[in-house]
Structure formats: C-alpha cells, structure tokens
Amino acid sequence: MVELKRTPLYEEHKGAKAKLIDFGGWEMPVQYAGVIEEHHAVRKKAGLFDTSHMGEIDVRGKDALAYVQMLITNDASILHDGKILYSPMCYPTGGIVDDLLVYRYDLEHFFIVVNASNTDKDYSWMLEQVGDFEVSVDNVSDQYVQLALQGPLAETILQRLTKVDLSKLVYYTFTHGEVDGVPCLISRTGYTGEDGFEIYPSPEFGRQLWQKILEVGATDGVQPIGLGARDTLRFEARLPLYGHELGREITPLEAGIGFFVKFNKVDFIGKDALQAQKEQGVPRKLVGLEMVGRGIARAHYPLQKDGKDIGFVTSGSYSPTLNKNIALGLIPTELAVQGEVIDVLIREKPVQAKIIPTLFYKRGK
Amino acid sequence: MNPVELKYNKDHEYARVSGNTVTLGITDHAQESLGDVVFVELPDDGTTVTVGKSYGTVESVKAVSDITASISGKVVEVNTLVLDSPDLLNSDPYGEGWLIKVEADDLSPLETMMTVAEYEAFVAEEEH
C-alpha cells in the first residue's frame, strides 16, 4: 500500500478526533463534529478548513503572461497585480485538464492553485507546454500550508489577527501581510459559496495559525470543517469539482462554465475544438435535479428518460441548507428543459427527479 | 451502552428478540461510523426478508450502506418514523431508530450472532 501523504496539520486533526480518509492519496479529515453541523456552521458563522493538499505552481519569466494565456481558456490579460482569475485549463480536444485559480503577482510572475489530486498531472502538462516560452514553471506545493476561513463571520475573525484592512480586500484579490505575526498570502476566495479567505503561510506556521484562528473565533462559533461539508457546501453553490462536473471527457461549455472560455482572446489550447463545439451546438448540458421520488442521486448513477439512458449524475447529495435531496447531472441539451421529470436509476430502480436551475444556493448580500 | 439483551452481527446490526418477533436495526457503532443519516429505505409491510440478504439502505451525507437481514421471515412492522426522520438512527439507534420487525420463520440464525461482549471485542479489534 502506498503511504498516504499528510499535511502539516495532521496532528491537529488527529487531536480533534476528526474522521480521517484517503482523499486522492492524502490522509485528510472528512468530518469533525459531523457533516451537517459543520455545513451549517459555515453558512451561518464560520468554518476553518485545512486545504494544504491543494497544489501550487509558480510561473515566472518574461513570457509568463503569454504562456498562461496559452494554457487557460479565460483571459488573464485583464488581470492586474493582486488580482485572481478562475479558469479551466483544457486539452486540445476541449476536455478539461483541471480548473485553476490564477494569481497575478506581476506580469512576469503568476501563482497557480490546482486541485490536490491533479497536481502532478497538471505540473507535467504545464511543463510540456513550455516550448519556446521564456518561463520557469515550478511545483511549489510543499512550500505552503493552505487554510480556508469561510462564512459570514470570516472577516470579523481574521481581522483580529491582522493589520491588513480586510474590508478593502475585494473578492478575487489577494495581498501579502502578517496574520498573527506570520507572513502570509491572503486571498479573498473560497469554495463554499460564502464570503471568506484562503491564507497561505509557510508549513512551519500552519499549526500555530490553525490553533490561533480557532481560538480567536471560538466566541463567534468558528469550527474546524472536514472535506465532507466542503463538498456539500461547494455542491449547493454549484461550484464544479474535478472528477465530477469536470473531466477529460467533459468540456467547459458542457459543464456550464462557458463563461470562463473567452474566444476573443489570443490563441489557447482547446480553442478550435471549443469553437467548433459552440458553433455546432453543445451536445450536453449540466442540469440541476430535485428528487421527486424517495432517494438520493449519487455521482455516476445513470439518468434515464422513458427507460433509455440519457446521461449520468455528476454530484448528488442531501442538501443541508435546502433540506432536500438534489443533484447535478449531464444530459443531452435538447432534454435539458426546466420542470421536466426524468429518472435517476438508484440501485436498478428508476426514481423520478425534476430538472431545476443548477444554482441551488446563493448567499444574501 | 450497547444493550445486553440484543444479538449483534459483523455488519454492525442488531436483533432484538421478543417471542417470534425480531426487531432489526443498526448499532451505535454503525451510526457513529456512518455519520449523519439522511435517508433510509425499508421494505413494505408484508414483504419477506431473507437471512444474509439486503433488505434496505441507510445513507449518510457521504455514504450508502446496505442493511442485511439477520433472520428470514415476513415483515410485520416498518418504522415509518425513521423514513421521515432518519436522524433517529443517530440519536437513538436502539430505541426510536429501530428499522423493521420480522415474524421469524426460524430463530436458529440468531445463534450464530454475537453477544454484547463478543460484539464489543469485535469492534475494538476492527478499530486496530
């Protein structure tokens, strides 16, 4: 058996009696107090996540912008220093290598955050694309702990530990500053559908910050949150997950993230295939599903209409916020009609589900 | 906290015997491992279950788990309360969180099940 990787916060999770699981080769906490309680804590108060398993890749050099532009489907030329961009990164086929956050330090330095289980694959892919570009591409994942503090009280709690004026740090921007005296990259981003921050200190300060944030946020009800609630939170907010809504065989246009494909920018990998798909009509569409019959649609369950397979569930769960069983699924575009009823095949048995808008949850302003 | 009067199996399910009627449910350890139970599927009244075969499903937020009959016979009562409030399996697995009552064809399969002491030793061993 391959030894599981551990983040620098492993002892904290163990000490808190978290339930640990193998997540893409990492021994990670799936829950502490319970998925539903943790889910509500993030929606109503605040939650702290260890997301140190995420990968970080540095791109530096004279051609950094041109290189990044060729890699991703979104338009990095609109970034200014300190600004962050979400983007798919595609294969020439239009299928997705991964989805990324691209941080612009300056025109010659971009910092790219990738999915944990894709880090090695992404890094190899990015190295293969360097060609004649004058850039250096480095996997710096080991140099960072990543903590995510998410929820309506995240700013209040984090502000107690830093002189950086967090009220001025707008969504999808980042800065450098001290948190509890520790130098960090502080970014107003997240994967929960709530306001919040992602903080990147050096690994040796990970435990100190983890403890400190839980300590100063205790009166506000901050809790450590596992990957279980991370998944239900991102799912309700229709934030796609690689291996579910996104994959090698799924294009961004099908996955409902076509907004992040900019055809009017310079050439990028996958542009021709995506352009052709757009012109010919996108064959599949990601739809929301609400169970009509009794059951929970789970990832990979077949979707049927009139007894014929039409697609599959990409993610499905009980939704703690809505108190309903909901799902996301990929089906032919012509069948993606709001209000229509299709079947989810649950243990060989068709169970009815209604097509609904995919954005199940949106936080109030 | 596992009741002494019950019989247990290796799938972390219990059987409570009262005359010829056997009540089936999942153990405290099972609910603890599953986490928040959010869905329960049970057979209808009057259907039959077979020893060693799945008779329903218990789902937590992240996991789907089959439940297996410890006994063969006719289902004489279904706990409809847990269909609407699956969290009863977490809060009271041995009480309000029971699943079905079966009129047993033959009680002998219960003899192969564990006593509470045997079951607790089994759980302790499994955790290592």
Phi then psi for residue B24, to 5 deg, are: -110, 150
User: What average pLDDT does this structure show over B105-128?
Assistant: 93
Examine the domain organization and report whether A43 and A155 are in the same domain: yes
Phi/psi at A107 (5° precision)? -60, -20
Is residue A258 assigned to a domain? Answer: no
Residues A73 and A36 in one domain: no
**Is the domain of A48 the same as that of A61?**
no
pLDDT-based confidence at residue B1 (cuts at 50, 70, 90): confident
CA A256 to chain centre: 14
Q: Are residues A148 and A226 in the same domain?
A: yes
Q: Is position A189 within any domain?
A: yes
Instruction: Say which residues have a Cβ less than 8 Å from residue B76's Cβ, sequence separation at least 6.
Output: B21, B45, B101, B102, B103
Mean pLDDT of chain B: 96
Q: What is the least distance, in Å, from the CA of B5 to any CA of chain A?
A: 30
Q: Which CATH number does the domain housing residue A75 bear?
A: 3.30.70.1400
The pLDDT tens digits for A159-206 are: 999 999 999 999 999 999 999 999 999 999 999 999 999 999 999 999
A14 and A74 housed in the same domain: no
Shared domain for A194 and A174, answered yes or no, is yes
> Is any Cβ of chain A less than 8 angstroms from the Cβ of B44?
no
Dihedral angle computed from the Cα positions of residues A176, A179, A182 and A184, in that order, rounded to the nearest 10 degrees: -30
For residue A207 the two structure tokens come to 């435990």
The predicted pLDDT at position B10 comes to: 94
CA distance A339 to A159: 44
Pick the residue of A19, A28, A241, A296 with the most B CBs within 10 A to test the interface with B by mutation.
A296
Instruction: Give pLDDT tens digits for B94-110.
Output: 999 999 999 999 999 99
Longest dimension (CA), chain B: 41
Are A18 and A47 in the same domain? yes
Q: Is the pLDDT of residue B128 over 90?
A: no
In this prediction the pTM is 0.94
Q: A26 forms bridges with which residues in the sheet?
A: A5, A23
Q: What is the mean pLDDT of chain A?
A: 97
Examine the fold and report which residue of A180, A201, A236 is the final residue of a domain before the chain moves on. A236
The ipTM value here is 0.87
A 10 A CB-CB count for A3 gives 7
Residue A308: per-residue pLDDT: 97
Domain identity same for A166 and A115: no
Assigned domain for A109 exists: yes
- pLDDT beyond 90 at B127: no
Q: CA A51 to CA A109: how far, in whole Å?
A: 23
Decide: A161 and A216 in contact? Cβ < 8 Å.
yes
Domain boundary among A107, A135, A163: A135
Q: Are both A298 and A333 inside the same structural domain?
A: yes
Dihedral angle computed from the Cα positions of residues B118, B119, B123 and B124, in that order, rounded to the nearest 10 degrees: -30
Report how many domains make up chain A.
Answer: 3
The domain that holds A30 is classified in CATH as 3.30.1360.120
CA angle A338, A340, A344 (to 5 degrees): 110
Q: For residue A34, give the nearest of B35, B39, B59 by CB distance.
A: B35
Q: Per the domain annotation, does A264 fall within a domain?
A: no
Output the domain CATH number for residue A342: 2.40.30.110
Domain that holds residue A228: 10-52+144-236
Share of chain A above pLDDT 90, in %: 98
- Is position A261 within any domain? no
Residues of chain A with pLDDT under 50: none
- On whether residue A128 sits in a domain, the answer given is yes
In a domain, A173, yes or no: yes
pLDDT for A365: 62
Smallest Cα–Cα separation from A246: which of A94, A55, A26? A94
Looking at the structure, tell me whether residues A41 and A169 fall in a common domain: yes
State which of A86, A101, A135 marks the end of a domain: A135
Separation in Å, CA of B81 to nearest CA in chain A: 15
The Cα angle at residue A350 between residues B27 and B102, in degrees rounded to 5: 35
pLDDT number for residue A24: 87
CB A337 within 8 A of CB A307: no
Chain B residues with beta carbon closer than 8 angstroms to that of A34 = 35-36
What domains lie within chain B, and their CATH numbers? 7-115 (2.40.50.100)
Compute φ and ψ for A130, nearest 5 degrees.
-65, -45
Across the A/B interface, how many CB contacts are shorter than 8 Å?
38
- Estimate the crossing angle of helix A227-236 against helix A35-44, to 10 degrees: 50
Q: Which of A39, A48, A50, A51 is nearest to A213 (CA)?
A: A48
Note the pLDDT tens digit of each residue in B69-94. 999 999 999 999 999 999 999 999 99
Beta bridge partners of residue B102, listed in sequence order: B22, B75
